[in-house]
Structure 1
Amino acid sequence: MTEEAKLIVDLLNKEPFKKGLNLITLHSYGPEQLLQLLNDVLATIDPSQAGDIRGEAADARTQRTLGCLKNLKYTPPPNSDVSSFRQGIVLGDKPIVHPILVYLLSNLDGLKTRAYLAKYLVKLGVPDELLHDSSDVALQESWEKYVELQEHFHQIHRDLTELKKQSHGTLEVKTDIKTMEEEKENLMRKVERARKKAEGTPDFTESLQVAQRMRKEKERGEDIQKKIQQQRRLMQSAEQTLQRKKQQLYDMKQGGADSSPQSLIMRMEEDNRLNEYLVMEKLPKEIETLKKNTHDLQRVALEPAISQQDLHRIEDEIEEVTAKINRLVEKKMMQGNPAKDKLTMFRQQASILAGKKETLAESVQSKREELEQLEKELGQKRATLRDLGGEVLKGEEYKKFIIGLRAKSNQYKANRSELAELRSEHGVLVRTETILQKLNGQAQKKLNLLENKKGVAGFRDTQDELEKVSAMKSDFDEAKHRTLDDMSEMVQQLNSVIHDKKTLLAPVIKELRPLRQRCQEIMVQYTEQKSHYDSVAAGLESNRSQLEHQVAALREECMNHDSRFHYIKCMNQILQTKLDRAVNEFDAYRGADKKKSLKETYQRKIQEQENLAKSLKEQQKNVRQNHSNDKTQKEMWSDLQLLLDCKMEILQRRHSELRQMKNPGFSMSREGSQDRMVL
């Protein structure tokens, strides 16, 4: 909880919120403030959710929030059910709201796109009976048009997303285009210079035609290679489709072989019973429950707002009623009627079976809905894949594709680093050229001043022009002869290379033909063995899954039987004890032995207790009557005890005095009515 709160505070303090919160402020938020914060975050994602929640009814706000969370694909935690989650949204509980805030704030950009799409792609809540009503043609046409427009919008948005992804490297693309244009201009200039040099040579037209034919043959060879690759991909796709169809055929045959007419009829009867239970029992109960909940919610909505004190009062009443129910149940269990105990046991068994039946029906219904959803998603994925123009790569093809992609990625990285080095070197060379041009300009100025001073102005330029013209003439003459010789030599080399390659490839081609045939045979055998292996593996996997389900079912059944056994054993011991007690009581009642019955024993004990109570009451009565006299007598005895204690103390004191006087003889005499000691 603390980690969630820290994450929420960090995300709310960033753009676009900038709340300036801390953990203490967030923890001090009440339910209403927390719900307003959740609504503000939803409004950032979907502007239609903006507003003050204080001016909105609780049921309308809850319905709007739940609908928005459903569009944003939020799933509640697995440890919370639907009712508690809905109640947490209504009351603004922190354990419910905090995970929602974490989900929304962590995926803000993606959820904005999803909220935008949900505005147009979430289907309207039209009842199924209206959609399947063939008499209403206008509604059917409107619905089909609506679905078609949604699909068109989805396709346009997907194309737009792809274009945005492709337009990220615009600057780099512009740079590449500019570089390619410069290279194109350089190539055009080179081609033009080569054309001007070669136009005056003999056999120029024939050599040009040979070069054009060679280029066309190369392009044609590349096209043929591309077509071969495309045909191979199509063949692999067809083989994969064939394997899937074979597997489906094998599964259908296996399913048909394992199922007899009786088993099919039993399966249909089970499905019929299940559907009958869903239609006749489960769905009406759910409908009745939903109606009751709707009625309760309407009643609660019409009532005035409930304060926190009212909630505490209602919770106290619920606890009080629950305690009363528990006391009644305990009292009923203490009565211990055997017939009612058996009936209770049977009722418990019936309720357990009904709960299991309802759980299984819900599981079947959820699995059906999940299957429909998966089939729908599978159809969408297949349609998307068909639009992209390909199939999903599997197995070895996917590995080869990954290897090729890695090689291309490495080559791309190497070329990119080389390009960066060339660009840096180009910058250095440009800078060097600029410096040299500057130095050349300074030297040229000095040379011009020196020529003017000597009276030979323009001598350097004239000499450079003459050298350039002579160099160009010599280069042109040399290139003219060299181009013709190179072309003839190139043609001869090409012919010789072609002849040599044919000579070298002839024995290889002869050896390759039987190897190709052998390869085809091995591929056919491999395909058959692979299909057999796939079918066997699929069958074993299916059997394994069936056995696992059977083992799980048997384990659950065994646990149920064990629990049932221990329960019956305990009930049997209880009943046996009660039966033994009843038999002993009956035997004692009939007088089969001298042992007293429990009835007589309890009656005797009751009589003794009654007699004891009577005697105690008599004693209590006597005590109450003689209380004052006894109290007076007790006080008199206490005074007498005090008097005797005083006399005893005086005698002891006199005796000690006599001992101090060391007179061993003493005599005692009685005078009058008092006892005294004479020393």
Structure 2
Amino acid sequence: MATLLKEIVDHLNAEPFHMNLTLVTFDEKQPIELLETLNAILVHLDGKKHEVDVREENQDNMYVRMAGFLHVIGCKANYDEEFQKSFVAGDKRTLYPIIHWLLSDLERLRKRAYLAHYLVPIDVPPEFLGDEAMMEMYQQYKGLQAQFKSNHQALEQAKETSTNPSELRKELQQLEAEKEQLQQKIASLQSKTQNKEGFDALLEVTSSLRKEQEEEARIAEKIREQRVQLEQAEQQYMLSTQRLAELKSSIKDSDAGAETMLKVLRDEVNRNRENLERYRREVDEKKDRLHTLEATLSEPPVSQVMIRDLESQVAGLRDEIQTLEDRLEEDANQTDDKLTVFKQQANLVGKKKEIALKELKDAEHERSELSQRLSDREREYEERRGHKFLRKDEFKQYAAELREKTAKYKEMKADLNEIRQEVATLTRTEQILQQRDERLAKTVAELEAKRGVAGYQTTERSLEEISAHKAQVDKSKEVQLDELSRIVTEITNQLKDKKNQLAPQIKNLREVRAQFQELEAKYNEKKGAYNSVQLAVDSDLSRLRHEVETLQAECDDAESRYHQHNVDIQTAEALLERANKEAKYQRGEGRYSKEFATLSALLTNKLNELDLHSRDLRKQQKEVKENQEPRMKQREMFSVLQRLLDVKLKTAGQEAGGMRTTGESFRAGGGAVMDMAGQAQGVNRLIITE
């Protein structure tokens, strides 16, 4: 935490904040002061949105503003209720990491905040995108975003590659000088290689190698372009196969009907229109790019006069900008003087609003407490009495419902008694009839047995049941067949009507398809012409770029050699100057210093001193080598002595403790004291001999 605080304070004391803080003053800041510091950082990142007084701003609005901005620029946090509470309360554990993260990469976050104004997507509900105007506007918005991205990238590249006119002038002068040097070198090389054998063959081989390398680069560029075209063709093939599958599924689906076919055709027409618009936009963009490339190729080269004119124009524009900024500052000071009264009134209104909101919060808190107490009392009543406490209106409603339920209960009870009586009567009747049926069945079976037709009655009964069931099945089949015939006739009539309605639309669709095919043919023709022109332009550009890179590499090589020669020349001149001075000093025309007449005398003196010092070091080395073994033995003996003394000290301490305990025991028992003087006064001696 200390290192985190130190880094935060260092960043806040540096540009552009200059807060002049210390670790103690920053750590003693109140929560509202920490929020003000965070808001100052956010103002530096995005001044348009965060120039707000934190003390007068509502806490919810402040959290929405700051947390939303932090989320957009990529600050990693939970953004839950606990984070909101700690953030609004100004908790140091929450705000310190955020402030450190913002200050650690300030310029990148400032650029990201600037880009967020234009590149953060707008969430549009899907139901609104069904409208054609809204969809067109949304597509236009996406196109503008893409254009902004490309323009911003181009601007960044231009900033990285742009140079100062003075530097360009110097580079031009240097290039001209190097050009002259290269021409001289070429002339010298030609004069050297005129009479050499095999040089023409070597030159021919190197030129053919260079041509082959250029051809290889051109072929690689063509391969890349053909791969891009292959990807586009594969995408077109996938779209065509998907469209064919949709048409086949719509044709095979017999339940879909004409409406589904019409819907599919409309979707296809809309898709074709969108593709046509997209192709037109692409063609327009390619044409614009081609015009810009042609214009850049046709422009004359930049001269020194044009550079001077541009520099003068830039200086004049800077002066105008400075005067306009001064006027804006004066106008801002005047408007600030006029708005002080309104600001004071706004502050008073804000304070009154805070007081009213505080009173409202207190009233809401009191209301919630009273409702909580009321619910607790009702819960206690329900636990004691077994039912919920009823008010007067609720009790009246409960009594009315109870009377209605009692009346219904009596009516249903009387109906139930009547039904039970009737059920008992019917049950008795059924029993009597079953008994009669059993007796009659027995009688009929006996008669059938006597007549020789046993089982005739059961067979007849089963035949009657089968015939009745067959009649019911035939009747249901007849009804179903009539319904099916009616449905079939309705479907055929509907199909005829839909075909008659769709006939003009299908005719229009055929015309639109013919127009689309014509436009597609024209588009393919234009696209082929454009691709051919683009290939030619790209090949020329790649060739020119390769030549420029080759010349640049040669220039860089020549420049490095030029600088190396300059350094060598300066070194040689310095040595030559020192040698000339030394010659003058030796002739007696001057002195090198007060102590030495010449440089050679100084160097001779230093060599003598170094020789003496090296002799002393050799003597010391010899002495160390000779005394190394006895000194190492002595060191080992001293280490052994130290260990023996440590053991002796430990043993003496243990003996002293034992004597103390024995003396106390003898004194307690009244026994004779034992003379330990001889043993206590004994001394162990260690003799070290060399």
Question: Shorter chain as normaliser: what TM range?
Answer: 0.3 to 0.5
**Length-normalised TM-score, structure 2:** 0.34
**Length-normalised TM-score, structure 1:** 0.34
